[in-house]
Amino acid sequence: MRSRDLDRIKSIADFPTLVEYLREDLGWELEAEDVEDLVFEYEPEELGLDEAHKVKINEIKQLRPLATNQPWGIFYLGFEPKRLPVVVLRRILRSLVPKKRASAANPQQAVWNLNDLLFISALGERGNRGISFAHFKENGQGPPQLQTFSWDERETHLYYLGLNLERLRWPEDTNNVEAWREQWSSAFTTTHRQVTVVCC
């Protein structure tokens, strides 16, 4: 990866710079004069977060659908901690997928298939912010498997990260929903906290 690309990725630290990168580098159709016009805002309580967990989160945004047949629910989360708070992410996930019991569902809450949710999180203190992309996959009878890739401002090795991000390029044919699902899902190859060893 060229140093210019590395610097470009490392410059992503908040929602406006993320939108700029997704639009200009990955071709996402994010057209709005004000980036806040691109989103729905959520309060932590709307996504099932109690007092103990909502203090870790600064903001929750859902990108408005960008195509008629878009299968993906895309969420931006601003967290306080440096590490991705997996428990909080799983609680949010539970509120966004269909409930097994219809009586437990909130009829006002939009839901997605578990495999169709993409979470982009900003983490850490000012001056050392990081970005994490996260996706859950079905895991047989066990809990959903969290797969992630991430970086922070001190990152120096971004070759594989560039490949991950390229797979999140906006699809040429948004009507081919299954190909879109497969393309974006392929960006996630590493289980959360699994270390990828690069040899030779």
Q: What's the CA gap between 185 and 71, in Å, rounded?
A: 12
Residue 182 near residue 71 (C-beta atoms within 8 A): no
pTM: 0.88
* Average confidence (pLDDT) over 8-29: 91
**pLDDT band with cut points at 50, 70 and 90 for residue 76:** very high
Tokens 């899902």 found at: 185
| Tokens representing residue 49 in the block | 């977060």
Per DSSP, 112 falls in state -
Label residue 56 left, alpha or beta by phi (over 0 means left) and psi (-120 to 50 means alpha): alpha
Q: For residue range 27-61, what is the model confidence (pLDDT) as tens digits?
A: 999 987 788 899 999 999 999 898 888 888 889 99
Q: What's the CA gap between 150 and 58, in Å, rounded?
A: 19
Q: For residue range 113-136, what is the model confidence (pLDDT) as tens digits?
A: 999 999 999 988 776 778 999 999
Q: For residue range 81-103, what is the model confidence (pLDDT) as tens digits?
A: 777 888 899 999 999 998 775 54
**pLDDT band with cut points at 50, 70 and 90 for residue 163:** confident
| Tokens representing residue 41 in the block | 């805002």
